[in-house]
Amino acid sequence: MVDSDTVVETASEAAHGYVFSRLKKSDVEDIDVTVSFEDQVLEVDVSILAPEVEADLERIADDAARAAGNAVDDLFEQ
């Protein structure tokens, strides 16, 4: 059984990793990754502040949340 802290940490690391695989750290002024895991339900919210970037930040944030979910799925499959 995987404990909640491990789930939250895995999801957060995956979301951050995804964002910074798409954007340079120097371009990101702020990133907020909020993860909760209660009653076997994972919730991930990602917001990115990078005003100088022309990329679709909302899509990157959504994809980062999906990457977090996939990482947690992989964790439970081990």
For 42-52, the pLDDT digits (tens) are: 999 999 999 99
For 2-30, the pLDDT digits (tens) are: 899 999 999 999 999 999 999 999 999 99
Q: Report the distance separating Cα 44 and Cα 15, nearest Å.
A: 9
Query: Which residues make Cβ contacts (< 8 Å) with residue 35, sequence separation at least 6?
Result: 7, 8, 11, 12, 15, 42, 43, 44, 45, 68
Q: pLDDT at residue 78 above 90?
A: no
What pLDDT is stored for residue 1 in this prediction? 78
What pLDDT is stored for residue 52 in this prediction? 94
Determine the topology of domain 4-77 in CATH: GMP Synthetase; Chain A, domain 3 (3.30.300)
Considering only residues 23 and 1, tell me which one the structure prediction assigns the higher pLDDT: 23
